[in-house]
Amino acid sequence: LTVKAVPAAVTNFKATKLAGGTSLKFTWTKVSGATGYTVYRYSDSKKAYVSCGSTTGSSLTVKGLYAGTEYKFRIAAYYKYNSKNYYGSYTNITAAANYLAPTSLKVTKTTANSVTLSWKAVSGAKKYQIYNYNTKKYTTTSKTSVTLSGLEAGTAYKVRVRGYAAVKGKNVYGAYTSYLSFTTVTDKVTNLKASNLTQNSVDISFDKVPNALGYQVFLYDYTTKKETKLIKQLTTNTYSI
């Protein structure tokens, strides 16, 4: 009488999303003495688990999935004996393929009231959604760059971006980037005036700039037609030279 024990259950069975939003890569820890492994996916139409493939290694990629759809998967290790596979118990997980987060999100231009952002395209995504943390508003574009307008001058903002596409008539959203922080440029000083002019002194004043932390006063040399030096840093909008 010959008895062949079945392998132990697979451990550390995990799924990783791949670019394109339609594939998952499964990994696990090898079982001592096992000949190979078979990964299965539950089929709603067949009301049963169907094989996604077998391997002697510790990873397997499953393709042809719908982005944003959760699937049931399971894996079992097996011994091969006399041309027959003897399977151990199953290890189950639930996983969904999806679009990866955009990369290389950066600011390409800032003004007092706008910012231009860019990022690298996400495989499978058709559009992108930009979320402004400060305003709680979303902006959508089909390009890999966008200009956000209507911002306040000299103000710190945080934004993040994700890709998405329509799958079976419903928008499926991918992972967000980390938040990107930036500060808009302060407005220019306006209504600069000189008063109480004497041979050796002058008073200057100007309108306060919203959100400005301070002001710098430079001396202009008419002989060289250059700003010669920074003569004062102010926190008020008046100064006597």
The pLDDT tens digits of the residues spanning 155-189 come to: 999 999 999 999 999 999 999 999 999 999 887 88
pLDDT at 141: 98
pLDDT value of residue 229 = 64
Confidence at residue 1, expressed as pLDDT on a 0 to 100 scale: 45
Which residues of the chain carry a pLDDT beneath 70? 1-4, 227-230, 239
Sheet holding 145-149, edge to edge: 106-110, 114-118, 145-149
Q: Is the pTM of this model over 0.85?
A: no
